[in-house]
């Protein structure tokens, strides 16, 4: 009984330590809240429209309003401990998106007929271009975690809208 009690106490201490380590390892991104509306000038992932990119005060996470119609994931995070939506260096990631492949390896709309549905995980990286625009470069990887690249697309975000 004494051995069981000691084991339970040890397990409780280790569990508490693990929780504290996880809580302590959370990234801290020190910045004001950001809410930037972009005009989409080019989009091979989805529809042209506009996107709003948000990041809460001191959050390393970013969220995209209008993501579904644009064909990009809704959620992501900063690649560094400093979020500046206008400067890029953030990413978006979505899992289990269905795309449709045609015989030549290209993608097609769901209603195109003859296309093969493939489940993918889409990852997009936001980088600032020399002209000041942001480019979201997206890569679709097979959702089976094989790492196989299935397709790519990109979205060009131009000057913020007022």
* Domain residue spans of the chain: 28-161
pLDDT tens, 63-98? Answer: 999 999 999 999 999 998 888 999 999 999 999 999
Taking the model in full, what pTM does it have? Answer: 0.79
CA neighbor of 154 nearest in space, from 123, 117, 120: 123
Q: What is the pLDDT of residue 19?
A: 45
65: buried, middle or exposed (CB in 10 Å: 19+, 13-18, 0-12)?
Answer: middle
Task: For the chain, state the CA radius of gyration.
Answer: 21
Rounded to whole angstroms, the Cα distance separating 148 from 139 reads: 10
If you ran DSSP here, which 8-state letter would residue 25 be given?
Answer: T
Q: What is the pLDDT of residue 3?
A: 57
Q: What is the pLDDT of residue 26?
A: 64
């Amino acid at each position: 009984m004494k051995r069981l009690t000691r084991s339970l106490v040890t397990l409780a201490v280790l569990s508490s330590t693990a929780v504290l380590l996880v809580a302590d390892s959370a990234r801290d991104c020190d910045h004001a809240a950001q809410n930037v509306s972009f005009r989409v000038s080019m989009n091979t992932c989805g529809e042209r429209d506009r996107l709003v990119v948000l990041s809460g005060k001191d959050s390393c996470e970013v969220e995209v309003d209008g993501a579904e119609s644009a064909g990009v994931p809704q959620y992501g995070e900063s690649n560094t401990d400093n979020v500046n939506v206008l400067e890029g260096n953030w990413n978006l990631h979505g899992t289990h998106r269905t795309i449709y492949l045609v015989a030549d390896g290209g993608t097609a709309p769901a209603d195109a007929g003859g296309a093969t549905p493939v489940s993918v995980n889409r990852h997009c990286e936001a980088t600032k271009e020399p002209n000041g625009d942001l480019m979201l470069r997206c890569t679709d990887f097979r959702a089976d975690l094989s790492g196989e690249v299935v397709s790519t697309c990109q979205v060009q975000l131009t000057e913020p809208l007022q």
